[in-house]
Amino acid sequence: MKRGQPNFEIGDKAQIPDNDMPGWIQTLREGGFTDEEIDRMLIHLNKEYAKQKGADVVEEELKIVEKEFFAKSGRYLNEDEKEYFKKGIRERLGI
């Protein structure tokens, strides 16, 4: 796994409780992670964190999907496809 591309194939069993969030954030910052990297990790591990990030998280996740889709297919997503992926992202994150 390359840095900046965390593997989130950890399933629904891994979660960080709300009261542990400040400690996790501090530890990750001390470990040299950027705020963007921390956000990408924690939105998958804490539903409240994902809710607070709201639309920003969905848009950031969609950009990643669009980039990967273009790299594989050579075409851009249309508006209906974007909405479909946004809905899936929201459902996956529970927001």
pLDDT tens for the chain, residues 1 to 95: 344 444 444 445 566 777 778 888 898 899 999 988 888 888 777 778 877 777 788 888 899 999 999 999 999 999 999 999 999 988 887 77
Helix pair angle (47-73, 79-93), 10° resolution: 140
Kindly state the tokens that stand for 64: 């990643």
What count of residues does the chain have? 95
Q: Which pLDDT belongs to residue 66?
A: 96
